[in-house]
Amino acid sequence: MIADTLDDLLRKVFPKILKSGQRVKASKGWNKELSGVILELRNPLARLSRSETKGTLFSCLGETLWYLARSDELAFIEYYIAMYGKFAERDDTIHGAYGPRLLEMRGEINQIANVIKLLRRKPTSRQAVIQLFNAEDLLKNYNDIPCTCTMQFFVRKNSLQMVVYMRSNDDVPGIASRCFRFHIYSRTDR
């Protein structure tokens, strides 16, 4: 499915999910699922939904700051997005937090800096991949693991392109259109 704006894309995908989605029980409850769906947002600057409330901008900003702070602490993000409280571990951390995975993978690897360096050195590379989901995420029964598996970056026709593989993606109001999570390629579970 292809559209110029997030709202146009959502108007295409939601009826398809409701009409053709398979009903399954996932870890967070019953949902409808479409597998192998490709969503292309032609204008990535149009990734904010007009249907969202004003609070979404603040939650988006809070979540971005949480990532940049490399934090997995519930107290930081819960102020902006109370729903994270449902997914906290007993030590009040969020196991699936993206910040440490993006900027300090395994305590030391800054994946964003690595991708930037690689693309500056080899602009046509297909190796500019960020891995968020880890094999270790399946070792224990964590309350939260990343929905985003990988992000791959390409420079083509003097333009930075991004392909995202999602193992799951919510359409709960306020989640599907978070400004930091626009998807050019996505598997949509709900």
- Predicted model pTM: 0.77
Q: Which residues pair with 161 in a beta bridge?
A: 154
**pLDDT tens digit at each of 190 positions of the chain:** 999 988 888 889 888 988 998 898 887 788 888 888 888 888 877 766 665 555 577 888 899 999 999 999 999 999 999 989 999 999 999 999 999 999 999 999 999 999 999 999 999 999 999 999 999 999 999 999 999 999 999 999 888 999 999 988 766 543 343 333 333 333 333 3
Q: What CATH class is the domain 2-166?
A: alpha beta
The two three-digit tokens of residue 123, written as one number: 């602009």
Helix/strand/coil (H, E, C) string of the chain?
CEECCHHHHHHHHHHHHHHHCEEEEECCEEEEEECCCCCEECCHHHCCCCCCCCHHHHHHHHHHHHHHCCCCEHHHHHCCCHHHHHHCCCCCECCCCHHHHHHCECCCECHHHHHHHHHHHCCCCCCCEEECCCHHHHCCCCCCCCCEEEEEEEEECCEEEEEEEECCCCCCCCCCCCCCCCCCCCCECC
* One-letter amino acid for residue 84 of the chain: Y
Q: Give residue 44's pLDDT.
A: 75
* One-letter amino acid for residue 48 of the chain: L
User: Is residue 166 packed enough to be buried (19+ CB in 10 Å), middle (13-18) or exposed (0-12)?
Assistant: buried
Q: HSE of 190 in the Cβ direction (CA atoms, 13 Å)? A: 16
Q: Give residue 58's pLDDT.
A: 82
Residue 161 neighbours by CB distance under 10 Å: 12
Q: List the chain domain ranges.
A: 2-166
